[in-house]
Structure 1
Amino acid sequence: MSGGMRRNGLLRAQDDREVKRRNEELQRGALQKYTSDDVMLHGNYRYDDRAEHVRREREARQRAQEEQKLDQLYTAHKQREYGQQQAQEDAKIASHLERTRKESERQQRVVQRIRNESEELRALSEKLRAAEMNLERTNQLKERKMLQSREKEYNASYDNLMENERLKKVAAEEAKQVQRRQDQIGARLVQEEQVAEKKEMQRAAMKEFERERAAVDEIVGRIQEEDTAEMKRKAAKQEETKRWVEKFLVEREVERNDARRKEQEEEARIKAYGNEVERRRMDAAAKAKSKADDQARVLDKLTRTKEEEMRKAEEMEDLINRLHYEEQEQKFRAQERAKVDKQQKSRLEMMQANDYQKQLKAQRRQKEAEEEEEYRRRMMEKYSEDERIDQENKMRRESNMRDFKKEVEHLAEHKQGLFEAQQRQEIAEQLHRDEEDQQRSDIIEQERKRMLAEHAAKLIDYLPKGVLQKPEDLEMLIEMLSKKMEA
């Protein structure tokens, strides 16, 4: 409808343009004629005026030719556009008709398939054929009543045979109907069983969901218990570490006291040794060779003893003491060689060595105090770091627990969503099946009414049992008979 109106509008526009073009040509013709007449009237006056008129006439003709060409080009362009639009509209109309034809053919194929697959329509068709056979048999009986009497016996036997066949077909049809009803009842029972099974699956899914939730709660509780036990274990470990540190500090203090005591003893031995050296040096002149050897042996023995004792102390003190005794030994041997002139120098060096040893001991005590303070500071930092790490671990566990709970809740929501989506899909599929069944029933009902309308009126006296299934069928048949009688 819209395509036809569009074509009519285009035709009217084309006609209007054509009328306008003709009016413009008439106006140009009148103008040319007026120009020509004017040239003829003024041709005798001035040559310049005549030349101007000729020029104007030539320009007018050129303009008219250009306008005519433009009109021709415009007309051809519009005709091409109109042809393209017409072709597009024709193609759309053809495509729409083709889709309509295909849809109609598809619908016809669906209806034909349902007709072919419908047991009810096949049964009705067989009943109508049986009715036609009954009608044909009645007609044959009427015709054969006019035959000879010898044919009556044959006709009677033939009638009996046909009646038996009819009864057999009627019985077979009734058996098919019974079987079909049983099949429908069985299908309904199967559907009910499927619905019950789906409900049971839903209940089982809900139980499974509750069981999983309980398992998750149990896991969460166990994790919380483990975290509590871990915190207790950490606290116990920290307490044990504190006790160990306190014990270590006490033992360290005892060891330091022992070290101080040993240092005092060592100082006493060194002092005694110095006195012994001084005494030996006093009578060195008398016991030069013998005393020198004895002193060397004693010095070696004392050196070995000192090295054995100093080896148990700290490495720095051991090195210092060893150097000190070596220096003392060298000085002693030099003093033996230098005799009396070196004694004063040796005593001075001994005093310097003692002062140096005291300085080293003071430095060592200060260093030990600094180390102890550094150790305490590190232990406090370690306690703080352990406390921070424990706090971070606790926060991380709590965060992981929250994430775990969120993941569990998300999983539960996802499973619930899947379950609901499955239910919606099953409901949609059931509605679609119901719609297809209703459509199939409507097509079967329409085809049954059509077959009854075509055959039932002329076979009214020969219709088998079960052909007229509804009161509407009887009403339709009565109406058709009334119309037939009125006609």
Structure 2
Amino acid sequence: MLEKMEKCGRQEDLMQFIHQDKVQYDINKFDDRMENLRRIRETRERQEEEAMWECLTKVQWEKEAAAKAAADNEKIAAALAEKEKEKERKEQLLLRIRDESEEIRSLLERLRAAQMNKERALQTEEKRLLLKQEEEVMAAYDNMMKEEQERAERLHKEKELQRRLSNIAVRRQQEEQMEERVKRQKETQEEHERERKAVEEIVAQVEMEERMEYQRKREKQEEVRKFIEFYLEQREARREAEARRMKEEEDQIAEYNALLDKRLEAQKVKRRERTAEQEKVQAIISAIKEAEERKRTAFACHPACSPCRSFLLV
């Protein structure tokens, strides 16, 4: 029985070891899958971060260009406003002088014409300068956008190359992991097969021992059953013999009781006869005493009385 319990314990330990090995294999498989997902997520986050940084750089450059253009426009507007104020001041001065002298008015007319011509020339030159400045700004902006586009293309190509290299490395790593996993799975299956065969052998041995133990129990039960039947037969025989003995004893007791009853009845008859004789003797004694008492009474009454004398004589 102890050997059977030890074998059952070893079988349970073996099954528990197989179960733990399978659980460990599943855990390793889950860890590999989570590691691949983590690498893919880190690569995607790094790409998103680079794209966001590129977008922020572009937005910052556009803000700086817009601020610079706004500052230039403010300077131009301030210069134009100053010129407009100077023009108004000169016109007011000319109006005041014109009102004072005809010659001056004539000179002012010619001066105004010259100024208008000069202003037209200045406006034309200013427009030309503004156009030139705008063209330079646009050219610089185009060059910067071209450089930015070229840099973005180079960065995109580098990222694409890096992504391809990363994909190749990841694919190669996945292939290696797959080969390692297949190899490990094959080894695990072989180990499981060996363990299964060992367990089957142990189970077969345990089953054979259980069958032998069951056979021994059946034989033992058969022996016990036969012993119980023999014991019951013997007990029934003893019970019948005891019943016969009790019947004989009861018959003897009944016979003894009958004999005893006869003896008691005879004794009762003798006692009744003895009592009757005693009563008869007692009656005679009483009669004698009574007669003697009458005699004494009669003698005491009159000795010469004939009846008394005759009675005394009697």
Same fold, judged at TM 0.5 (above): no
**For the superposition of Structure 1 and Structure 2, which TM-score range results when normalised by the shorter chain?**
0.3 to 0.5
**TM-score with structure 2 length normalisation?**
0.40
TM-score (norm: length of structure 1): 0.29
Task: Please identify which structure carries the higher helix content.
Answer: 2
- Higher-Rg structure is 2
